[in-house]
């Protein structure tokens, strides 16, 4: 955890941060520009908007735009917003239950309180690391600390938990898209997204199948030898072998998959509560397709925590004529969703500080005991 990142990793992070900034700047500027123009023309101010210089229009946009977005966000009713926070917490709760099911396959018993601590820390790091799965690195680290003889198996549970959850999300999204063909046909952008998600579904299905079967060594015997030659090859081989039991436990697969589908449904309800809170008119049927489609794209490690990607997708997808949500309202909805996630991230940050202090004390105690 204390290792220094290589220059290539720092460069990759900087590129993705730059992409995040560009996406956020683009969507904010487009919306603020429109808000500034509407405010200027509504007040019938002189000179006319088109007669202003670009610098003047830019100044007006960033004066009126943030104010309008904040006013739009502020009108969310407290009740639905509180429900949205509770539903976001429910997704974390369901994730904890699912991970404990994964751990039990290897006989690893982790108390709910301890699993909750680790999961909240992972959620905290998801707000800053790349993609929605960035916090899994921290989750794997803390999972490995929980056992002395099954470290590879503990790390493997994090991978299995993530890949099963992602596959269930893609299945949920494919079903929701099939039930919303008129919506997908309403705009070419929807069809492009649907094609990307279909490709993700196919790729995830292949990875999941190979993982549950223990890799490709059956069809490619030399793969095991190549694996052993890699750095920490023995650990990687144990990690590969640790995935096999999951493929033989059908009862576990059914339970985990069902729980993951429920989690996807709760994610949609989380956004639905904010839609009600803002007084927006969006069909629940459409929302059950749009939310998982956006979530699938946010999973891709394009920007930290999907920032910029999420906001642009909310605005572009909700603005199609079939739905007709104004850009400012769509952006406000996206920002409120992010606010709910950040609320639980702050709780995870507080837990992380406590965990670091506790581990430091534990390490000091072990060092003192060894020196006696």
pLDDT at 26 over 70: yes
> How high is the pLDDT of residue 370?
45
SS3 221: coil
How far is residue 208's CA from residue 273's CA, in Å, rounded to a whole number? 33
Q: What is the per-residue pLDDT across 218-238, written as a single tens digit (0 to 9) for each?
A: 544 555 555 455 555 555 566
User: Residue 210 burial by CB count (10 A; 0-12/13-18/19+): exposed, middle or buried?
Assistant: middle
Q: What is the per-residue pLDDT across 15-25, written as a single tens digit (0 to 9) for each?
A: 767 777 787 78
pLDDT at 142 over 90: no
**Cα-only R_g, the chain:** 23
> How high is the pLDDT of residue 60?
87
2 falls within a domain: no
Contact partners, residue 260, CB within 8 Å, separation at least 6: 98, 164, 165, 167, 168, 169
- The pTM (predicted TM-score) of the whole model is 0.81
37 falls within a domain: yes
Q: What is the per-residue pLDDT across 304-358, written as a single tens digit (0 to 9) for each?
A: 677 788 888 999 899 888 898 998 899 999 999 999 998 998 998 888 887 766 6
On whether both 52 and 90 belong to a single domain, the answer is no
On whether both 49 and 133 belong to a single domain, the answer is no
Task: Check residues 164 and 39 and name the one with the higher pLDDT.
Answer: 164
How far is residue 106's CA from residue 116's CA, in Å, rounded to a whole number? 19
157 falls within a domain: yes
Structural domain range at position 19: 10-74
Burial call 107-130: b when 16+ CB within 10 Å, e when fewer: ebebeeeebbbbbbbbbbbbbebb
User: Residue 198 burial by CB count (10 A; 0-12/13-18/19+): exposed, middle or buried?
Assistant: middle
How far is residue 144's CA from residue 281's CA, in Å, rounded to a whole number? 47
3 falls within a domain: no
On whether both 32 and 178 belong to a single domain, the answer is no
The full DSSP string for 62-115 is HHHHHHHHHHHHHTS-HHHHHHHHHHHHHHHHHHHHHHHHHHHHTT----HHHH
On whether both 151 and 24 belong to a single domain, the answer is no
On whether both 51 and 177 belong to a single domain, the answer is no
How far is residue 300's CA from residue 197's CA, in Å, rounded to a whole number? 11
pLDDT at 257 over 90: yes
Contact (CB, 8 A) for 231 and 251: no
Alpha helices for the chain (secondary structure H): 7-42, 54-74, 78-105, 112-126, 136-145, 151-178, 181-184, 188-212, 222-229, 233-242, 244-248, 250-278, 284-299, 309-318, 327-371
> How high is the pLDDT of residue 134?
56
Task: Check residues 127 and 165 and name the one with the higher pLDDT.
Answer: 165
Contact (CB, 8 A) for 91 and 267: yes
Distances (CA, A) of 23 to 134, 152, 251, 279: 20, 38, 43, 27
The model's confidence at residue 239, banded by pLDDT at 50, 70 and 90, is low
222 falls within a domain: yes
315 falls within a domain: yes
On whether both 45 and 92 belong to a single domain, the answer is no
1 falls within a domain: no
Contact partners, residue 148, CB within 8 Å, separation at least 6: none
Count up the domains in the chain and report the number. 2
On whether both 178 and 232 belong to a single domain, the answer is yes
If you average pLDDT over each of 41-45, 194-198, 227-231, which comes out highest?
194-198
Last residue of a domain, one of 74, 89, 115: 74
On whether both 69 and 169 belong to a single domain, the answer is no
Query: Nearest to residue 293, comparing CAs of 187, 206, 174?
Result: 174
């Amino acid at each position: 955890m204390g290792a220094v990142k290589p220059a290539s990793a720092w460069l990759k992070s900087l590129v993705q941060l730059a992409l995040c900034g560009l996406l956020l700047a683009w969507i904010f500027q487009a919306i603020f520009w429109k808000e500034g123009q509407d405010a200027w023309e509504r007040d019938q101010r002189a000179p006319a908007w088109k007669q202003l210089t670009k610098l003047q229009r830019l100044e007006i946009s960033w004066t009126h735009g943030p104010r309008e977005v904040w006013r739009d966000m502020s009108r969310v009713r407290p009740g639905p917003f509180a429900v949205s926070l509770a539903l976001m917490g429910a997704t974390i709760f369901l994730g904890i239950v699912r991970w404990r099911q994964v751990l039990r396959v290897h006989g690893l018993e982790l108390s709910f309180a301890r699993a909750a601590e680790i999961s909240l820390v992972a959620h905290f790091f998801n707000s800053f690391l790349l993609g929605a799965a960035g916090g899994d690195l921290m989750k794997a680290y803390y999972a490995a600390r929980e056992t002395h003889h099954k470290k590879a198996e503990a790390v493997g549970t994090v991978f299995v938990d993530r890949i099963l959850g992602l596959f269930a999300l893609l299945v949920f999204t494919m079903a929701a898209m099939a039930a919303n063909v008129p919506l997908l046909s309403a705009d070419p952008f929807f069809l492009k997204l649907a094609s990307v998600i279909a490709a993700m579904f196919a790729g995830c299905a292949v990875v999941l199948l190979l993982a549950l079967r223990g890799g490709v060594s059956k069809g490619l015997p030399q793969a095991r030898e190549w694996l052993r030659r890699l750095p920490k090859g023995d650990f990687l081989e144990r990690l590969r072998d640790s995935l096999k039991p999951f493929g033989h436990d059908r009862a576990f697969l059914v339970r985990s998959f069902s729980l993951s589908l429920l989690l996807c449904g709760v994610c949609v309800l989380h956004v639905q509560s904010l839609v009600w809170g803002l007084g927006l008119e969006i069909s629940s049927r459409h929302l059950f397709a749009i939310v998982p489609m956006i979530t699938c794209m946010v999973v891709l490690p394009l920007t930290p925590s999907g920032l910029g990607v999420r906001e642009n997708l909310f605005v572009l997808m909700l603005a199609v004529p079939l739905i007709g949500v104004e850009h400012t309202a769509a952006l406000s909805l996206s920002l409120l969703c992010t606010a709910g996630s950040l609320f639980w991230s702050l709780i995870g940050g507080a837990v992380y500080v406590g965990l670091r202090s506790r581990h430091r004390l534990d390490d000091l105690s072990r060092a003192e005991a060894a020196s006696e």
